[in-house]
Structure 1
Amino acid sequence: MSSIGEYLKSKRIETGLTIDDISNITKISTRYLQGIEDDDWSMMPGDFYAKGFIRSYAKALDVDISELLSESESFRDLSRTHKSQQSTFIAPRTSAPARAKRFGKLFSLTLVLLLVFAVILTIFYYVSTTELDTQDIDNNQLNPDTVIDPNQVSDLEPLREKDPITIPELSEEQPRPENVTITLTEQTQTSYTYQVNSAELSIKIEAINGTCWYEVRENDGRGRVLSTKSLTKGNAEEVNHNQNLWIRLGNPDAVNLFINETLLDKEASSSPRNFQLNIEKD
């Protein structure tokens, strides 16, 4: 009786197919198909897969090998051979390499546990040391009931006498300037001209409500700019000069205008106004 491999090989040759053709039809590797034809069952992954490969091979050739499969001595040899191979390779899988792998995992786990233990021990030591230092500091501090040894007083640094406090003498009150006469001599819709009987002019612009921009020039509106700024509520600026002054207020209602410490009684307006101050020397 021919073997399974010989039978399938003869049928393949009769149909004119190659090993590659059978592989494309069955999707089985040519290596396994060649092993079936050569009755070389050592390369098969197992009995179950070997039977399946044989049935697929026979189906591709459109032949029935059920009876041949049950009576074939070669396939019984397959079972014996494959089982023998499995028993042969069981030992290496549980031999030294496997034990070494398990030992390596155990060794790594041991190192991790030791590292964690070392970290915990370090933290515990640090916390304990800190608490001891804190207790020492608390114990070294004197409480109200502590009695000081007179013999130890000499070791203390003597207290320095406080420097005497010098109270500055109050200077005599400076005489206030005499009252200044401010006379309105000319007025237009947006400009005011005042005559001031003083050798110098001291101007103070104080913001009392809102914001006001101002500009102070020497002599008149074409003179040199002495000061310009935008004042907000609570701020003030002063200008002192010995010549005539020209002042422009962007929002007169928002400021008080003092001339030589005298509040100027100006017309209420929120529109820009010009103030010309002319000195009238005695």
Structure 2
Amino acid sequence: MTELGIRLKEAREEKGMSLADLQAVTKIQKRYLTALEEGNYEIIPGKFYVRAFIKQYAEAVGLNSELLFEEYKKDIPNSYNDDVSERISSIKPQKELPKSASKALELLPTLLVTAGIIVVIAIIYVVIQTVNGGGDQHKADNPKTEESQSKYEVPKDSPLTKEKKENGGADEDKKEEDQQKADKKEKLSIKATDSKGSSTTYEVSGADKLELEVKATEKVWIRVRDGEGQSLKEGMMKKGETFEKNITDQKQIDLRIGYAPGTEIKLNGEVLSYELDPKSVMTQNITIQNKKEEKSS
């Protein structure tokens, strides 16, 4: 085993994770994880993937991948950059287009915009003509409609009209009251305030009560701690499993997500949008700070 492989294995065992758990978090086959621990890079399909696998393994067990690459350079194949150079050199440059074709391409956006304007004008003209023609035809077919309607209008001073106004006014008052209550209702605000490496801090405000919900859309490993470091949840979660916790009285919650693409976080039913792309940073540290505003007496 290489020094790097020993370091990775020790970090995994400290986390209490088996190779099967690590495979579920990183989506890397167990035999490749074993190869990384043993320094047996020959079985990994192409040296290009060695560095990527080491990075995912390190992040899943809480190690800084960049520091590992610097500290254990001798344990990582030096041909990684050579493979990248060969792939880049194998790309054939595109053939230059003839000058006449280049000019045509330059004029193409202008031509498309002009054609689009003409089409829009034509559509508007057709719609106007259709509406006007339909209105005139309707009047010609029903010349007595307006007159008939006026004959059967309810007089303004009739009891029926007064009752309708009273009921309508009550409904309007109720709608206005409901709208005022809705406007006074506090809205939840979730804001990312800091992001470094694989860690992001979110500030949450505007809610009297705060409910945390963590749902596994795939098999994942998570850890949830309160502001004092007390563990609220730690371990593997099956697909479809949900962890819920009222965190209204907590000033801060810390989450360690083993596989972000398979983990959904909600606050009061509102999905927390990852500041860091889960597909790029699969293992993330999430800090939620509850900035509940104190109401004046």
Q: TM-score range by the shorter chain?
A: 0.3 to 0.5
Instruction: Specify the structure having the higher radius of gyration (Cα).
Output: 1
More helix by share: 2
**TM-score, normalised relative to structure 2:** 0.33
If asked which structure has higher relative contact order (CA below 8 Å, sep 6+), I would say 2
